[in-house]
Structure 1
Amino acid sequence: MSSNSRLNSVCAASMLISIGGQARPAQEWAAIHGVKWTTVKMRRYRGLDWDKAFKPQQQGRKPNYRCGTCGKICEPEGISLVA
């Protein structure tokens, strides 16, 4: 089995997924949930189940606040950075 066909079996755009008793292609469910298809595909490749892959926003990294003057991570006014 080629690597490409193995990945397609994990997450093919045309794969029918049933949610709430309604079956639609995976790519269509992504659009309904407001998630880019490439995001869903990457989440599936990383091992997430379909429910988690279709969630609009995953928990991301905390933003770094880089100072525009010195380029270091500085503490913006009103925000405390804890080391």
Structure 2
Amino acid sequence: MWAELKAPALVAEPVERGVAAVLVRCGQRVRVWGEWRVAAGVRSEWLGDGDSAVVLELDEGPALRVQAVEPLVVRQRGDA
């Protein structure tokens, strides 16, 4: 039998990771404008020059349009 015990005072640090904007999914927290926002909606758009963009509908504030390869920092929604 194996068990893992944790002290009640220990709180796990939220896991942050860098991903291309095209990999952001609804429900993830995204670091934008110096704050964490929840991606309420994510859609792709083709730009006139053949590149693609990602539009993030955020829980607060205006939507954010970035190039699909733009690096963003994300957390899972449950992470503080």
Q: TM-score, normalised by structure 1?
A: 0.27
* Structure having the larger proportion of residues in strand: 2
Larger radius of gyration: 1
Q: TM-score, normalised by structure 2?
A: 0.28
* Structure having the larger proportion of residues in helix: 1
Q: Which has the higher contact order (CA 8 A, sep 6+)?
A: 2
